[in-house]
Amino acid sequence: MLQANQVQALRQTLSVSPVQSNNAPGIPWPYPAARIHPVQSESTLDSIPGTSHRADGVLPHPFLGPGETDPLYLFACHIEWERREDTGAAWELLSAAQSSNQNTRAHARTLLTGSRHFASAGSSTPGGFSRFRRRPQSQENEMKAPYGLEIVDNCTECPHINPAYFCAVSKSALRSIDGISHKSILPAGAILFVEGQAPRGLFIVCSGKVNLSTTSREGKILILKTVHAGETVGLSATISGMPYEVTAETATPCQLGFLDRKHFAELMEAHSEIGVHTSHCLSREYQSAYRDIHHLVLTRSSAGKLARLLLSQAPPQQSAEETRISTLMTHEEMAQRIGASRETVTRLLSHLRKKRLIRLDGANLVIRDRSGLEALTT
């Protein structure tokens, strides 16, 4: 699996507007899957035996499936990036790594994993994440935790475990989980896995939030759920062996523990307690999905869905007339959560303000009339 935090850092490094290759004009992201990025006259494509340029820039290949990009072209992009630091070639590989074609995704991810740009970031574990090395306590005290997170290197010493958490098991079982867990710190916007990808394992969210989303054929994104600390990501696919049902992306900086599928299966066989606990977690996920479908069917209007979303972000019912909530969601993310357009969300928020149901106070949103919002959800 790609090192998600390194890919995210690479994208930020390459975020130059417009993106320029060595001598090619700027080409906006994303690149069409079948398009060949222009290369220099002494291109790597010319140095590969048996390949030649066609007038339309596409390499012939008799065995390519629909929507599949030529593996030789992806390899050429890899060489262009490694030898000439061609950012356009890098973008091509990143685009292919998210292609709808399974073969193209596999080729691109293999090339990215072997890139020296990733290798320089340090050794990685089988899960694709850098494992923490224990430092002397004096050094740890002097170091600042990345992204302001409270780093927990040992699960048995975690001060935040509660009965609702996936890791709320006995000390012996927790030590076994800790023994196979590969811990990592990721920034917001890191992709853990994509919809349709073969399952490599599951993630335990130690801190932070992870968004689970799905994408339509037209490219429309719908955020299905936000996973919080103590919950898991990818548990169902890891157990069943079926492809991941959703795409998982960190919504905030996170500390995660990755458990390889094979080792997790062995862990459940060795500890019946973990197997029973896993079944409880899957049951809660099923009930949560059922409630979400129930709300989606009963709440037909976009205004009602937005009202339900705002109420879900608010703390439990308070005695005060107004309820203040701190939301980091943009209008775009709100739209992705309720299945509407950004323009629709902007219009609906303006409408709710005019009806004096909500108001904005800096970065905070204040619910002025909770009962009024609740009436919209019915």
* 228/93 Cα distance (integer angstroms): 31
The verdict on 287 and 310 lying in the same domain is: no
- Domain contains 132: no
Q: Distances in Å between the alpha carbon of 164 and those of 42, 45, 206, 230, 277?
A: 60, 55, 13, 7, 10
Query: Which of these ranges, 83-87, 114-118, 271-275, has the smallest mean pLDDT?
Result: 114-118
- Main-chain phi, psi angles of 255, to 5 degrees: -110, 125
Q: Are 229 and 207 in contact (CB under 8 A)?
A: yes
Q: Which of 119, 149, 172 is the last residue of a domain?
A: 119
| Domain region containing 197 | 137-296
User: What is the predicted pLDDT for the residue at 27?
Assistant: 36
Examine the domain organization and report whether 115 and 27 are in the same domain: yes
Residue 92 shares a structural domain with residue 147: no
pTM of the model: 0.57
Concatenated DSSP letters for 19-71?
---SSS---PSSPPTTPPPP--TT-HHHHSTT----TTS----TT--TTPPPH
Same domain, 266 and 311: no
Q: β-strand 232-233 against 364-367: which pairing, if any? A: unpaired
Q: Alpha-carbon distance 96 to 103, whole Å?
A: 10
Question: Which one, of 308, 356, 368, 355, lies nearest residue 334 by Cα?
Answer: 308
Q: Do 84 and 37 fall into the same domain? A: yes
Query: Which of 56-60, 106-110, 268-272, 290-294 is the least confident region?
Result: 56-60
How many independent structural domains does the chain possess?
3
pLDDT digits (tens, 9 = 90+) for 98-137: 777 888 888 888 887 777 665 443 334 433 444 444 444 4
- Are 252 and 226 in contact by the 8 Å Cβ rule? The answer is no
Residues 253, 149: Cα–Cα separation, whole Å: 8
Give the highest mean pLDDT range of 60-64, 284-288, 294-298, 321-325: 284-288
Which CATH number fits the domain that encloses residue 172?
2.60.120.10
- Assess whether pLDDT exceeds 50 at residue 54: no
- Residue 56: pLDDT band (50, 70, 90) is very low
Beta bridge mates, 359: 366
Are residues 142 and 277 part of one domain? yes
Q: Is the pLDDT of residue 172 over 60?
A: yes
Region for residue 16 given its phi and psi (left: phi exceeds 0; alpha: psi -120 to 50; beta: otherwise): beta
Residue 276 in any domain: the answer is: yes
pLDDT band for position 239 (50/70/90)? Answer: very high
Average pLDDT over residues 152-165: 77
| Three-state secondary-structure class, residue 260 | strand
Mean pLDDT of 245-261: 93
Task: Confirm whether 237 is domain-assigned.
Answer: yes
Peptide bond into 30 cis (omega under 30): yes
320 located within any domain: yes
Domain termination residue (choose one: 64, 86, 119): 119
Q: How many alpha carbons fall within 13 Å on the CB side of residue 93?
A: 31
Helix (H, G, I), strand (E, B) or coil at 206: strand
Average the pLDDT over each of 12-16, 224-228, 284-288 and give the range with the smallest value. Answer: 12-16
Together in a domain, 290 and 317? no
Taking each helix axis as running N to C, give the angle between helix 71-84 and helix 102-113, from 0 to 180 degrees, rounded to the nearest 10: 20
Give the integer Cα–Cα distance in Å for 189 and 180: 25
* Cβ(201)–Cβ(238) below 8 Å: yes
In the chain, the percentage of residues whose pLDDT exceeds 90 is: 22
Confidence bin at 241 (pLDDT 50/70/90): very high
β-bridge mates for residue 259, sequence order = 181, 202
End-to-end Cα spacing for the chain:
43
Using the 3D structure, point to which of 277, 296, 315 is the last residue of a domain: 296
Residue 73 has pLDDT above 60, yes or no: yes
Q: Where are the beta strands (DSSP E) in the chain?
A: 181-186, 191-193, 201-207, 210-215, 221-227, 232-233, 247-250, 254-260, 323-326, 358-361, 364-367
> Of 15-24, 236-245, 250-259, 340-349, which gets the smallest average pLDDT?
15-24
Sign of CA dihedral 293, 297, 301, 304: negative
pLDDT tens, position by position, 22-45: 333 333 333 343 343 333 334 444
What is the chain's alpha carbon radius of gyration, rounded to the nearest angstrom? Answer: 24
Q: Is residue 360 part of a domain?
A: yes
Please say if the pLDDT value at position 81 is more than 50: yes
Band (51; pLDDT cuts 50, 70, 90): very low
Asked if the model's pLDDT at residue 250 lies above 90, the reply is yes
Mean pLDDT of the chain: 75
- Give percent of the chain with pLDDT exceeding 70: 72
Domain contains 371 = yes
pLDDT range class, residue 366, cuts 50, 70, 90: confident
Interior CA angle at 109 toward 107 and 112, to 5°? 110
